[in-house]
Amino acid sequence: MTGEVEELFKRQLREWPQLAKGIEGFARATTRPVRIDWFDVFIRHIPHRMISTTASVDRESVAKRPCFLCANNLPAEEEGLPFDENFTIYCNPFPIVDRHLTIAHKEHGAQRIAGQVGNMLDIAVALPKYFVVYNGPECGASAPDHMHFQAGSRELFPIEKDTAALTGITVPNYERNVFVLRGLDRSALIDRIDRAIDLLAGATGKRPEPMVNIAVFHERGEWVAYLFPRGKHRPEVYYRGELTVSPASIDLCGIFVVPMAEHFERITGDSVAAIFREVTLPDDQFQEVAGKLEGER
């Protein structure tokens, strides 16, 4: 399917000015690595991400605007590539990474991962050399009212390198709490991810869905899934106006988006580490769930 996606990008670059402008903006993005303990995070300045970073996603705000993922509301020039009977692949006009895609459900319905993990794994298989992400409705999804995934090139995907040699389900001294779930068996991995989400819902008291971000890729017959349990949506520095940042899946995977130039220049590795610790699940709750997951292996 990657060949079809490449052809889609070529057509859309010719026919859809907004995408061409977004790709041009991405080409001008500035990226600099910062070292935090034993790993790097890549801070990326992309001005066109300001709208997504600051999006109001409360129910009242969402209800007031037309859904920008519904087919009837898309720009006339925007073309989709059917993935299956339920999902359509689109080029993201505000890219964070190379070959940034949005994969939207054909029906308007709430952003919920329940019953969708299998679809996420299937997309990862169909798009080798890509990662696929899910942002929960309260922690990164700009369209919490419409089920969708995103995907992008793994040419830069820091968490893959960071965790390549690890065999456990947690990552020591990583400044953010994340479960790493690997599997060769699709059904077994779906059950494992669903179980982790259920345990998180129990630990946090948030149902039907705890605050989670998920990233998945598929390589050599194996899926690798990263599940980031969240403690909060945005860090305090966002609300104080000190740093305009709003971490979602891609940020937590090591590409940290900062849309304002002055904030990009000012942010440090220590700042990023503090934000990671603040927005992911506190250690006590995380370790409680990790212990249960380990015990069920």
* 258 phi/psi in degrees, rounded to 5: -130, 105
- Chain segment 73-82, per-residue pLDDT in tens: 999 999 999 9
pLDDT in 10s for each residue of the chain, 297 residues: 889 999 999 999 999 999 999 999 999 999 999 999 999 999 999 987 766 666 566 677 767 788 999 999 999 999 999 999 999 999 999 999 999 999 999 999 999 999 999 999 999 999 999 999 999 999 988 899 999 999 999 999 999 999 999 999 999 999 999 999 999 999 999 999 999 999 999 999 988 899 999 999 999 999 999 999 999 999 999 999 999 999 999 999 999 999 999 999 999 999 999 999 999 999 999 999 999 998 887
- Chain segment 189-237, per-residue pLDDT in tens: 999 999 999 999 999 998 889 999 999 999 999 999 999 999 999 999 9
78-115 burial code (b ≥16 CB/10 A, e <16): bbbbebeeebbbbbbbbbbbebbbbbbbbebeebebee
Give pLDDT, residue 54.
61
Quick one: which of 211, 261, 258, 268 has its CA closest to 238?
258
- β-pairing, 148-153 vs 179-183, is unpaired
